[in-house]
Amino acid sequence: MKTIFITGASTGLGRATALLFAKNGWKVIATMRTPEKETELAGEANITLLALDVTNKEQIAEAAAKALEMGDVDVVFNNAGYGLVGPLEGISDEQLVRQLNTNLLGV
């Protein structure tokens, strides 16, 4: 059985990918910031939920270690991220750094 590790699996493309791969017989490690709120994915036999905020270095190490304890990972879907829309002058340094940390450095 192949394994896919997904970040940002609480909504959107990440969530849909988790359900699709589970349905197709893959072992799915679905990670998200608040797994305690997730009910549908938690009930799927092939899906394991792990807590992961991709801007949190300690949690990245913890989630990676837990995933590898379950076996090899064949695919990593680096999906967690978000768009930041508006004029550059209106974006604060804090917003910019948070987005780069999430969308680029998290992986």
Ligand X SMILES: NC(=O)c1ccc[n+]([C@@H]2O[C@H](COP(=O)([O-])OP(=O)(O)OC[C@H]3O[C@@H](n4cnc5c(N)ncnc54)[C@H](OP(=O)(O)O)[C@@H]3O)[C@@H](O)[C@H]2O)c1
Site residues (vs ligand X, CB under 6 A): 7-8, 10-14, 32-33, 52-55, 79-83, 102
Query: Minimum distance from CB of 92 to ligand X (Å)?
Result: 17
Pick 27 or 53: Cβ nearer ligand X: 53
Strand partners, 48: 29
- The angle subtended at Cα 18 by Cα 16 and Cα 21, nearest 5°, is 105
Q: How far apart are CA 77 and CA 97, in angstroms?
A: 22
Q: What's the distance, Cα to Cα, between the start and end of the chain in Å? A: 24
Query: Minimum distance from CB of 61 to ligand X (Å)?
Result: 14
Pick 25 or 73: Cβ nearer ligand X: 73
**Closest residue (Cβ) to ligand X?**
12
Pick 4 or 32: Cβ nearer ligand X: 32
Strands 27-32 and 47-51: parallel
Query: Minimum distance from CB of 4 to ligand X (Å)?
Result: 15
